[in-house]
Structure 1
């Protein structure tokens, strides 16, 4: 193809030569699994709620197509573009999350969604990638501007997000955002004593959530005590993995999708385990691990503080989301309604994850003609310029 020629100097040609092809291929694989598992899991769920059999399939086709476009579009951005997107995205996501407290849709006692035509949006999903970029810029500016209060501003923004997510309430999302923020502080060189203190505060907050929020208390009790409460969903998911065995029962032969109300979303990994078996589940885990590990390994060659902090925060959030979904389905942790990136049904999730991976690809692109020590660095005004 002419557009992929080594001498092609178009924007697409430069992007193709500089982007991480392995990570891009992994994203394609996950989107492919998203289509396959949605075809398997969603018709039964749609019929059960009285909707058209193909309703979820048609919607997810559009969501994943849009997600693929977002990945490619965002990955073409410069570092300056990623910073701007992080600032604008953080402002919009925080405002929209605050709006849910007033005009949000209440589902199971929580206000996390805003109704739009054809879909509902969960604004807090977009906080994860945008806040990670915002925090990275604020922390990196301390090395450029001597008296810039980057740490205080980052903590202040986190405090606003903490209050909003606690008010919804969305303890799971708050846990993910907190973990991403703490991981960035650790990478930034926070004193180990303070790191231990932050870890202690997170544990204390978890204990407080156990006593203050009934749904958290219920989930933890059911996880710790098998004879307490309703274990129907997790027991059904575990039986699905057992029925699937090593090679699976075959496409369309699973039964878990007919039994679980969230088989197309929170428990889609159980559908994969029953119909395609252990080997495919291990392959899916390997794909997620490849994206995370490859991004972190590429950071070993970088000396740009913003790039290191932003990328580490983004992949931490991505990897943690995948881990929480799969681990809760396997009953390794208390159940939490969190989607499996690119695979579970959901427009907000698909687009926010696409934004995350697009930013990772944009930040880890190889800049042609620049050595490791001459990469772009942020100046005091937040713009990027090449070192002499």
Structure 2
């Protein structure tokens, strides 16, 4: 029988009294909102895919949610030493998966980002993001603590290896997100300004080249820069959904956008929230992500531990950054990137990767985690 008493020495009790319950609750709240939205979109999505079961998508999402919560809680119980080792192992597996997409990747919308097996699809680039962040934090921390350790050089090399492999799929949106989070970590670590400017310039060259050589990137940017969207385009339907929802929304389950927008349960689920529940729910979603980021950033500086600061700030920035990209794309504030909304959008890779990131974040920011790490060497 589990005991949650403070004096209990069980792993469950120790986790309960040291984990940041606010951040954990906020993540679970977003998962609940996502489940309700996927439930609303499930019949329409099933009809488009000609599935016999109207609720096939929410049933699969239920399995993903269960697996994600188990993963989040299990990872959040681990020590900092275990998190570092898990990140290295996870990076090797995720990087191998990204490389494998070049060989057997399933092409969707101009990019081979998925690996299909046994009826399931896996997007390795979703998983490489959180583990890359933690490994980078470890290298930057070691660079400060260990004399003559080339942590900064290794961090730059790891970034180039990761960014170029993801960019080659091609996945420009994920590459930009990974680059932005890495740059934040490097700024925290005191990287020389000339190196930041050099890498930033190289990034601009890659983005410019993507426009001229990648058709799907050029199409999305051209649509974004056009004065008006084509009638019937996904972004136009998304904007119509927000207009129809107004302040209070049409009501749960009463939206029209899910019947005409193919990606409404994934990339454009924020538009469904806006139409069915209005500005009030979209504001709550934005505020919840902001609360996770701000709280995580605050906790990262509590113990004066460089690894905790680099890793927690990076993980929080990745979750918040991906949410910003998804929501801004739905609102036509930037070109569509094909990114999901963490914890909310339908999809196994998205849910499991988000829960992995949150589990690592919770483990890193647990009370006494940094002190226990010092005691264990």
Q: Normalized against structure 1, the TM-score is what?
A: 0.92
User: Do the aligned partners of 1:42 and 1:263 also contact (CA within 8 Å) in 2?
Assistant: no
**Stretches of structure 2 lacking an aligned partner (at least 5 in a row):** none
| CA–CA distance in structure 2, aligned partners of residues 312 and 211 of structure 1 | 34
Note the 1:190-209 alignment, pairs <5 A. 190-209=191-210
Question: CA offsets, 1:320-372, max 9 Å, x none?
Answer: 1111110000001111110001111110010011000000000000018xxx8
**Which secondary structure state, in structure 1, belongs to the residue aligned with residue 366 of structure 2?**
coil
Q: Does 1:376 align with 2:373?
A: yes
| 1:43 counterpart residue number | 43
| CA–CA distance in structure 2, aligned partners of residues 71 and 166 of structure 1 | 28
**Which secondary structure state, in structure 2, belongs to the residue aligned with residue 3 of structure 1?**
coil
Name the Cα RMSD after superposition.
1.8
Question: CA offsets, 1:157-210, max 9 Å, x none?
Answer: 222223322221111111111111111111111133433443333333322222
| CA–CA distance in structure 1, aligned partners of residues 150 and 301 of structure 2 | 27
| 1:33 counterpart residue number | 33
Question: CA offsets, 1:100-156, max 9 Å, x none?
Answer: 111121223321111122410011111100000111111111122211111222222
User: Do the aligned partners of 2:79 and 2:373 also contact (CA within 8 Å) in 1?
Assistant: no
CA shift, 1:83, in A, is 0.2
Residues matched between the structures, number: 376
Q: Does 1:385 align with 2:376?
A: yes
| 1:187 counterpart residue number | 188
| CA–CA distance in structure 2, aligned partners of residues 154 and 196 of structure 1 | 16
Which has the larger displacement, 225-234 or 305-314? 225-234
| CA–CA distance in structure 2, aligned partners of residues 163 and 35 of structure 1 | 34
| 1:6 counterpart residue number | 6
Q: Does 1:337 align with 2:338?
A: yes
**Stretches of structure 1 lacking an aligned partner (at least 5 in a row):** 378-383
CA shift, 1:80, in A, is 0.4
Which has the larger displacement, 77-86 or 147-156? 147-156
| 1:354 counterpart residue number | 355
User: Do the aligned partners of 1:18 and 1:367 also contact (CA within 8 Å) in 2?
Assistant: yes
| CA–CA distance in structure 2, aligned partners of residues 289 and 334 of structure 1 | 22
Note the 1:1-388 alignment, pairs <5 A. 3-51=3-51, 52-227=53-228, 232-367=233-368, 374=371, 376-377=373-374, 385=376
Structure 1 pair 354–175 and aligned structure 2 pair: CA distance change class (3 A) = same
Question: CA offsets, 1:283-313, max 9 Å, x none?
Answer: 0111111111100011232321111111111
| CA–CA distance in structure 2, aligned partners of residues 145 and 367 of structure 1 | 23
User: Do the aligned partners of 2:110 and 2:216 also contact (CA within 8 Å) in 1?
Assistant: no
**Which secondary structure state, in structure 2, belongs to the residue aligned with residue 4 of structure 1?**
coil
| CA–CA distance in structure 2, aligned partners of residues 192 and 162 of structure 1 | 20
User: Do the aligned partners of 2:229 and 2:235 also contact (CA within 8 Å) in 1?
Assistant: no
CA shift, 1:281, in A, is 0.7
Q: Normalized against structure 2, the TM-score is what?
A: 0.95
Structure 1 pair 11–2 and aligned structure 2 pair: CA distance change class (3 A) = closer
CA shift, 1:228, in A, is 7.0
CA shift, 1:19, in A, is 0.5
**Which secondary structure state, in structure 2, belongs to the residue aligned with residue 30 of structure 1?**
helix
| CA–CA distance in structure 2, aligned partners of residues 6 and 148 of structure 1 | 40
